[in-house]
Amino acid sequence: MSDIPTLSAGSHQRHGSNIGQPLTRRDGLLKVTGGARYAADNNPDGLLHAVLAVASIARGRVTHLDVEAAKAHPGVVDVMVPGNRPALASDPDEKSNPFMFRLDLLQNDRVRYAGQPIAVVIAETFEAATEGARLLAPTYETEQARTGLEGEPFAPEKVGAGNAARAQSGDVEAELAGSARTLEAVYETPAQYHNAMEPHAVVAHWQGDRLVIDTPSQGLAMAVMRVAGLFGLTPDKILVRSPFLGGGFGSKGFLSSAQILGILAAKLVDRPVKLALTRPQMFGPVGHRAPTRQTLRIGLGQDGKLTAIDHATLTASSTFDDFFEPASDISHTLYAAPAIRTSHEAVRVDTGTPLFMRAPGEATGSIALESAIDEAAETAGLDPLEFRLKNYAEAEPISGLPFSSKALRECYEQGAARFGWADRPREPRTMRDENGLLVGWGMGTATFPALMFEAEARAVIRADGSGVMETGAHDMGQGAWTALAQIAADAIGLDLTRVTFNAGSSDLPNAGIAGGSGHTATAGMALHKAGEAVIAKLADLATEDEASPLFGADNVGVIARDGKLLRRDDESRGEAFGDILKRAGLSNIEARGKAGGDNAAREHYAMHAHGAVFAEVKIDPDLCQIRTTRLVGAFAAGRIINPRLVESQLFGGMIWGVSFALHEEGIQDKRSGRIVNGDFGEYHVPVNADVPSLEAILVHEEDQLVNLLGIKGVGEIGITGTGGAIANAIWHATGKRLRRFPIRPADLLG
C-alpha cells in the first residue's frame, strides 16, 4: 500500500446520490495548507540532489565536459556522463510501439535538440549540483540547426495517437470547382510548451532490488512498464507513487528522459536522489505542442451551405522520433459538407519530440477551422451562428456515423442567449464601448472526442459497513480524488464519508491513463463495475441465507443504498451490509471490476462532446492593445459527475483558449534553435486581468452509449472553440483577419 495521506471528505449534506453533487475538492484543505506532498516534497534519508546539464546547441556533438572541475566543487558527489552511466536493459532509442517515445539517457555524445540532457551532476545540495553543472562548461562540435517549417515536407502515415494522416469523403476538387464561392486561407500556430506549475521531478530510491519512485505521472501502469523495460526489472519490484500532480497537460503521460535520469543517478551513487527540472528546462526535453501552418480551402453554395472543406496541415516533428500534431482532424467532426478532405505533412527539425498537449490537434485545428468558418460566414453574408446551424452535421462527416448524442444545438442556443448574441451587428468595426474602445463579438464551436481506455478497480465492503474503493487513478489537479470517489461511493451504495478511496499509486489496480479527457469515464467505469461486482457477491450471501430478510430475493433482485441491500420489489425489506457479513462470519468481501470502451457501440456511433463559445473583445483603436472582456461557453459533455469541478475544467480550457489566441508562444532563435523566452516572465500566459468575465454553462445531455455512466469527459474541450471565438471577435471589432497566432498588438497596426 502507498502512504497517501487520508483525505477527509469535509462536511457536507447529501441528498440522494454522491454523483452530481458540486463537492469541493476533498484534497483542497491538504493543498492550501501545504499538506499535499508532491514528488519533490519527498526527502528520504541520505537524499542527494541531481541537476541536469543540458545542451545549448540544437544539433551536433558534445566534445568535452570538464568533469574534473565539476567534481572538485565542494559538495559534488559524482557526475554522470555517457562513460559511467549505469547500463540499461534496453536501448533508449528502441521504439517497439508508437507510444514508446525515444529518450535521451546519455547513450552517446549526440545532441539532437537544445535543452537535451548531456550530463547529470549529483551533489549533497541542490546549489552545489547546480554550480557543478555549470562547471562542466561543455564544448561542442556544432552543426547548423534545422528550424522552422521551411524544410522538405513529407507525408507521415499516422498522426496524433495513431490516426490516419489522410481522410476524405466526396470529391473536394470537383466540389470546389463547382462552388458559387470559394475561399482559401493560411493559419499559423506557434510552438507551445507544457508548463504545469509543478515541473517534472523525481525522487528515486533503490531498496535492494526494489525501486521506489516518487514522480508525477498521468499513467502509472505505463510508467512501471517503461521502467521495468529499461532497467530489466519485473513490474512487481517497482513502486511509483503519484498522489498529486501539479498539472500535467500531457507532458506527464510518459516518463521523460529527466525522470529516468534521476533513477539512473540514484543507481550510480547508490543513494536516494532527487532530480527536479528548472523552469527553463521545461522548454525542450519534456514535449511541446508542435507549430502548424494550416491551409483551409472552403467551398460555398449559393444557399450558404458548405460544398467542400479541404484542411491541410504542415507541422514539425523531431529528427529522431515521430509525433505529428493532428490538426486537420478537427474537420472530421464539426460541419457537414458533400466533400471533406484532411491531410498532414511534416518537416523534421532539431527540437525535442513534440507530444500530446491539452487537446492535441483539436486546439490547433480548432483555431484555424473556426476562423475559416467565420470567414466563410462572412463570404456567405450570414451571421456566424446562422451559418453554423445551416451546416450543422446531423451525422459525423466523412464516417457518416450517427452521433451517440449531440446537444450542440442546445449549446448554441443557451450560449447565444446568455451572451446576447442576437444583438450582434453583422458588419465589423461597428461597436464601441463608452470609452471609445472597439468592441467585437465572435464565436466558435467546441468539440472533443469521448474516449475510453482500459482500467481496473477493486471494491471492498467491510463488516463495519464501510467500504474501500481503489484504482491507481491520477489527480492532476482536475479533481480525480473527488469525482472518482463520488462514483466509487455510489457504486457500493455508501455515502462518501463511509468510503476510503485510494488512488495515485502503482500498486493499485491499473486505472489507465489520465489523458484524452477519458479518465473519469474510464477509471469511473472500473470503479462502477467493481462496486457492482462486490454488491452482487454480497447479495448472493444474503439471498441464500435463510436468516436474512432478503432470503430468496435473488429473483427480484436487490439494490444497494445507504449501506443497505434492499429488495427491489419492496424497499421496506432489507439488511445492512455489516449484518450480512457478520452473519456469514466474514470481516470483509471484495471484488474487482474492469472497464473499457464498448467496441460494438463505438463501431456504430460517433462519440464526441460539443460546445459553443462566445467571446467579446475590446481593442484600443490606436494603441491596439487587446483584451478578452467576456467569455461564455455552453458545453454538452454527457453526465456531469461534479458540476463544480467540471466548471473549473471548462474555465481552465477556455483560459487556455485566450492564451492560444493572444499570448502563448515559444520564441525560437532560428539560428541556434534555442527557445529564447523560456521562463514565466517572458513566456506569457493570461493573468487574471486578461479574463475578467467567464461563464460555463453545462448543457444537459444523456448518453447511454458512451458508457453506462454516460460520462464524456471535459478536460480538454474548453480550449477548442475559444481561440477561434476570440480571433473572430477581433475581426468583428476591427475588420482585420489575423491568421497568425498569437495575435499581438503590433499585428493590428496600420
Partner 1 sequence: MNRFDYIRPTSLDEAIAAASQPGSAFLAAGTNLLDLMKGNITRPDRIVDITKLPDLDRIETLEDGSTRIGALVKNADLAYHEDFAARFPAVAEALLSGASAQLRNAASVGGNLLQRTRCRYFYDTASACNKREPGSGCDSLEGENAGQAVLGWSPSCIATHPSDFCVPLAALGAIVEIKGPDGSRDVALTDFHRLPGDRPDIETVLAPGELVVAIRLPAEAAGFAAHSRYLKLRERTSYAFALVSAAAMLRLEDGVIAEARIAIGSVAAKPWRAKSAEAVLKGMKAEPAFFEKAAREAFAEAKPSGDNADKIELGRRIVARALTLASAGTPTEMPALPASPFAPLPGASANGVAHV
Residues that bind partner 1 (CB under 8 A): 56-57, 74, 127, 130-131, 134, 432-437, 618, 620-625, 627, 662-663, 667, 669-672, 674, 676-677, 679, 681-682, 684, 686-690, 744-746, 749
The verdict on whether omega for the bond into residue 742 sits within 30 degrees of 0, i.e. cis, is: yes
As a whole number of angstroms, the distance between CA 380 and CA 178 comes to 16
User: Would you say 680 and 398 are in contact if contact means Cβ atoms under 8 Å apart?
Assistant: no
The C-alpha cell at 80 is 554522470
Cβ-based nearer residue to partner 1, 236 or 669: 669
- Which alpha helices (DSSP H) does 199-256 contain, by range? 220-231
Shortest Å, Cβ 63 to partner 1: 15
Shortest Å, Cβ 132 to partner 1: 11
Cβ-based nearer residue to partner 1, 303 or 434: 434
Shortest Å, Cβ 130 to partner 1: 6
**Which residues partner with 588 through β-bridges?**
462
Other CB atoms within a 10 A radius of the CB of residue 37 amount to: 16
Cβ-based nearer residue to partner 1, 635 or 683: 683
User: Would you say 351 and 297 are in contact if contact means Cβ atoms under 8 Å apart?
Assistant: no
As a whole number of angstroms, the distance between CA 231 and CA 315 comes to 34
User: Would you say 593 and 530 are in contact if contact means Cβ atoms under 8 Å apart?
Assistant: yes
User: Would you say 492 and 535 are in contact if contact means Cβ atoms under 8 Å apart?
Assistant: yes
Q: What is the largest CA-CA distance in the chain?
A: 88
As a whole number of angstroms, the distance between CA 157 and CA 164 comes to 6
**Cα–Cα distances in Å, from 92 out to 107, 108, 252, 398?**
7, 11, 18, 39
Shortest Å, Cβ 151 to partner 1: 20
| Phi, psi for 60 (deg, rounded to 5) | 150, -145
Cβ-based nearer residue to partner 1, 87 or 689: 689
Cβ-based nearer residue to partner 1, 604 or 671: 671
Shortest Å, Cβ 135 to partner 1: 10
Shortest Å, Cβ 440 to partner 1: 15
**Number of helices and strands (H, E) in the chain?**
15, 29
As a whole number of angstroms, the distance between CA 257 and CA 242 comes to 18
Shortest Å, Cβ 664 to partner 1: 10
User: Buried b vs exposed e over 179-204: b needs ≥16 C-beta within 10 Å?
Assistant: beebbebebebbbbbbbbebbbbbbb
Shortest Å, Cβ 138 to partner 1: 10
Cβ-based nearer residue to partner 1, 429 or 602: 429
Cβ-based nearer residue to partner 1, 602 or 627: 627
Shortest Å, Cβ 678 to partner 1: 9
User: H or E stretch including 611?
Assistant: strand 608-619
Cβ-based nearer residue to partner 1, 490 or 664: 664
User: H or E stretch including 446?
Assistant: strand 438-449
Cβ-based nearer residue to partner 1, 135 or 167: 135
Cβ-based nearer residue to partner 1, 609 or 743: 743
As a whole number of angstroms, the distance between CA 439 and CA 424 comes to 11
Shortest Å, Cβ 123 to partner 1: 13
**Cα–Cα distances in Å, from 152 out to 314, 327, 345, 355, 635?**
11, 19, 10, 21, 40
